[in-house]
Structure 1
Amino acid sequence: MSKQPISAMSSKLGISSQRTIQKAKELQQLMEIRVGSGSLDALGITGSCPLIMCLDLAASATGQPLTKTEAIRLSGVNKKVYANGLRALESMLEIEVKQTIKDLAIQFGCSGAVTLAEQALQRYEESHNSKSCTEMDFSVPMFQASALYAACRKLKTKVDRKKIVEVCGIKRTTFDRLVADLEKLAETIIDEQSKVKSTNKKRPKSLMDDVERFMQEGENKREKTDDAEENGGNVDYNDWKRKILEKALKAKEAAKDKNNICDS
């Protein structure tokens, strides 16, 4: 096992978070106690690879961005050995690294897509559960990251597809099929929200709307009232205002009665 300290390796991966570095150190100590060099050698995890994997797992646990391709390069092993070794190490250390859509959105700088992604994934889960008796864990990275990417595409938010696929840990063809299904759901949600907004804009007329209309219609009458007062008439403005309000109320009640008749 490499004697190079975690802090030195973390700087090469661009990790500056002390929380992440501390978590990696804890995983390294746990690895030395539970796993041992013999088991690591059998998995092909040698040299600096174990430390890199500890940093990788720590970054996932703390939501710290990490470039997978650079981690693999520094590990000294190929992509397949790294992926298999990482899963094995995760299992041997008995740790479960799960990232939510919010965690991933912070990591990839697309927080604006969180709500749509969560809604699309929820509908996908409901659809699957209604068609299948098999229970699936929709909290795994495969679904969380795919939903986020689908939402970003519909919202035209730029995100690194390659890195999203790496987080998913699935084949690109599988990823593309899953994203396509989630995109359809996201599009449906956007359409529904647009219709709701359009409906809300068509605000029903209130009593005050009717009052304003009647008062506008009665503007000429007010002018005549002013002329009458100047000529010594006995027209009271408050009385005129009361009549306008009464007229508006009657019109409102008549419209309400008409709607009730139509509904019945």
Structure 2
Amino acid sequence: MSKQAMSVMSSKLGISSHRTIQKAKELQQLMDIRVGSGSLTALGITGSCPLIMCLDLAASSTGQPITKTEAIRLSGVNKKVYSNGLRALESMLEIEVKQTIKDLAVQFGCSGAVTLAEQALQRYEESHNSKSCSQMDFSAPMFQASALYAACRKLKTKVDRKKIVEVCGIKRTTFDRLVADLEKQVETIIGEQSKVKSTNQKRRQSLMDDVERHMKEEESKRTKIEDSEESGGNVDYKDWKRRILEKALKAKETAMADKDTNNADDS
């Protein structure tokens, strides 16, 4: 198709990135060389469909979000033909479109869920590898997108479910089951983080309690200092209090550090 057709279709799909459009042009040229019109016709990829698919593949490889339903409408074929044709074209052009959780988070505007999603997917992968499922490709879009959606749900971060299902390329029922499994991992991680946070809070409170106790023990010294001031000494009480507090904090932190080291050695 002409440059004008490329420009019109990219505009209808909401693609304005020069990089994405240039990538689509490269894929279109590669398609003409490697595939040919005969093979495209056999796959039912005719009319504007090849151009739309090139734009779709280019958008995926550059992280440019598009609406799949609109792409299918513009292609002139039904969803099944489009999906099968897209996968076939992807294979014939030897395109490997891999979007990470971070890529998808940028695309869907939910970067705050990245760490939790990555941790959940890692645990999910480890649990399945231990069950002799090592042949599964956990870098596939279905796992990356499902993990991100599971994390977003627990963090109450809104994302477009319909669009993220489209990224997965799987049935909604399969997507829901996968998200449910990943949510279990998310819940476990959040629970562990809550326990760690609670433990740290207790340790900080214990530190402050010990400092206050230490201050009380040193309080009696203030009388002597005040007596010294009355007798002509030049001791600043505020400075003394600061030094005592710093000393108490340092002593407590050293003790806690030693305790952690001993625990590590024991384990």
TM-score bracket, normalised by the shorter chain, equals 0.7 to 0.9
Cα distance in 2 between the residues matched to 1:63 and 1:237: 66
Is 1:17 aligned with 2:20? no
Cα distance in 2 between the residues matched to 1:55 and 1:223: 82
Match of 1:219 among 214, 222, 233: 222
- In structure 1, the residue matched to 2:174 is 174
Q: Deviations over 1:102-137 (max 9, x none)?
A: 111111111111100000000000000011254211
- Tell me, yes or no, if the aligned pair for 1:56 and 1:66 is still in contact at 8 Å: yes
Cα distance in 1 between the residues matched to 2:220 and 2:195: 34
**Secondary structure of 1:5 counterpart:** helix
> What is the deviation of 1:215?
3.5
- In structure 2, the residue matched to 1:60 is 60
Structure 2 matches for 1:35-54, cutoff 5 A? Answer: 35-54=35-54
Cα distance in 1 between the residues matched to 2:97 and 2:25: 16
- Tell me, yes or no, if the aligned pair for 1:149 and 1:159 is still in contact at 8 Å: yes
> What is the deviation of 1:163?
0.6
Q: Deviations over 1:134-189 (max 9, x none)?
A: 42110000100000000000110000001111111111111111101111111111
Give the direction of change, closer, same or farther, for the CA distance of 1:155–1:108 in structure 2 (3 Å limit).
Answer: same
TM-score norm. by structure 1 comes to 0.83
> What is the deviation of 1:99?
0.5
Is 1:205 aligned with 2:204? no
> What is the deviation of 1:218?
3.5
Cα distance in 2 between the residues matched to 1:164 and 1:191: 26
- In structure 1, the residue matched to 2:142 is 142
Equivalent position amino acid for 2:207 in 1: K
- In structure 1, the residue matched to 2:78 is 78
Q: Deviations over 1:166-222 (max 9, x none)?
A: 11111111111110111111111112112212222222538x936544334433444
> What is the deviation of 1:86?
0.3
- Tell me, yes or no, if the aligned pair for 1:2 and 1:48 is still in contact at 8 Å: no
Is 1:113 aligned with 2:116? no
**Secondary structure of 2:45 counterpart:** coil
Structure 1 unaligned regions, length at least 5: none
> What is the deviation of 1:225?
4.4
Give the direction of change, closer, same or farther, for the CA distance of 1:19–1:217 in structure 2 (3 Å limit).
Answer: farther
Q: Deviations over 1:27-67 (max 9, x none)?
A: 00000001111111111111111000000000000000111
- Tell me, yes or no, if the aligned pair for 1:2 and 1:51 is still in contact at 8 Å: no
Question: Which entry has the higher C-alpha Rg, 1 or 2?
Answer: 1
Structure 2 matches for 1:113-132, cutoff 5 A? Answer: 113-132=113-132
TM-score norm. by structure 2 comes to 0.82
Q: Say how many residue pairs are matched.
A: 245
- Tell me, yes or no, if the aligned pair for 1:4 and 1:48 is still in contact at 8 Å: no
State the Cα RMSD in Å: 3.0
Q: Deviations over 1:212-263 (max 9, x none)?
A: 4433443344444445x26xxxx8969xx7xx89xx7xx98xx99xx9xxx9
- In structure 2, the residue matched to 1:158 is 158
- Tell me, yes or no, if the aligned pair for 1:150 and 1:186 is still in contact at 8 Å: yes
Structure 2 unaligned regions, length at least 5: none
Give the direction of change, closer, same or farther, for the CA distance of 1:217–1:191 in structure 2 (3 Å limit).
Answer: farther
